[in-house]
Amino acid sequence: MDYIEPHAHMVSRTTADYEAMALAGCRAICEPAFWAGFDRSSPEGFRDYYRQLTDYEPKRAAKFGIPHFCWLCINPKEAEDAGFAREVMALIPEFLDAPTVLGIGEIGLNKNTRNELAIFEEHVQLALDRDLAILIHTPHLEDKLKGTRLTLDALANFSALDRNRVIIDHVEEHTVDLVLDAGYWAGMTLYPESKCTPNRAIDILETHEGGRLWLNSACDWGVSDPLAVVRCGLEMRKRKYPPEAIEKVLLENPKRFLGQCPNFKLG
């Protein structure tokens, strides 16, 4: 089944995962910058990470015929120290002209704090200054609803923002309407416990106009599945979705959003 994995943290995954994704029909992988499971001790640690995202991972993916793209930022979990975050942000422009960079992401909130919000807004301004698309993380579990509302309130202050070039990720049943009604794209993340299961994601597709929704695995160092998107496609098949409806969600929708990024090309 042909599909795009629009949100995967491949720096945390094995080369065997690349092979499995290629075998499953993956046509492109997009990797947002994220929290590595621990706080980095210096901004220079991020310089190495950005090199890994813009140079090393595309080469690793290319061995399996999969184009690899990335989004750059400092993630919200490490943005609570605003001084540190601004030092890291100062490094980002030197990587933005790399040929596989899609935009700024995954920015957003984690514990919904004032400092996280300030750094989030500075990232949005950076994206606007460079005319880049934006990928936004929403917080975990009990913090998601509040964080989504704060995120939308903050974005509303950027009058120049093209909402069609912003995707707000990790939506669930209680946040998807907030995001879609405000005119943004929404991502559904397929996780075994937190976020959406495949069947809940299909339920959301069934109860919403699906033109601005995509699916992702957000596979990383935690309990997650790099084949979650294609497994969801299989569940759609079990639920009698025709092949073209499955292809729309797994391939065409992400292609339409990502096609707005000049560097994106499908393999």
Partner 1 sequence: MPSKQDILDLHFMGARCQLIDLAAFLDRVERHPGDADFRFEALKKAIPLLLEERPDRARAVLDALSDHSTEPAPKATFQGAFGAPRA
Using CB under 8 A, list all residues that contact partner 1.
35, 77, 80, 110-117, 139-146, 149-150, 172-174, 194, 199-200, 203, 207, 238-240
Q: Kindly report the CA angle at 92 between 29 and 265, in degrees rounded to 5?
A: 30
Task: Please tell me whether the peptide bond between 44 and the residue prior to it is cis, using omega within 30 degrees of 0.
Answer: no
User: Residue 18 or residue 35: which is nearer to partner 1 going by CB?
Assistant: 35
At its nearest, how many Å lie between partner 1 and the CB of residue 5? 25
Give the nearer residue to partner 1 in terms of CB position, either 80 or 87. 80
Q: Report the candidate in 184, 187, 192 with the shortest Cα–Cα distance to residue 204.
A: 187
Contacts of 207 (CB under 8 A, 6+ apart): none
Give whichever of 142 and 209 is closer to partner 1, judged by the CB atom.
142
Nearer to partner 1, 109 or 258 (CB): 109
- Residue 139 CA to residue 231 CA, distance in Å, equals 24
CB of 83 to partner 1, least distance (A): 14
> Given the complex with partner 1, which of 116 and 220 has the nearer CB atom?
116
Measure the CA–CA gap between 112 and 148, rounded to whole angstroms: 9
CB of 153 to partner 1, least distance (A): 9
DSSP 212-261: GEEEE----SSS--TTHHHHHHHHHHHTT--HHHHHIIIIIHHHHHHTTS
Max CA separation in the chain (angstroms) = 52
Minimal distance in Å, beta carbon 258 to partner 1?
A: 28
Q: Minimum distance between the CB of residue 257 and partner 1, rounded to whole angstroms?
A: 24
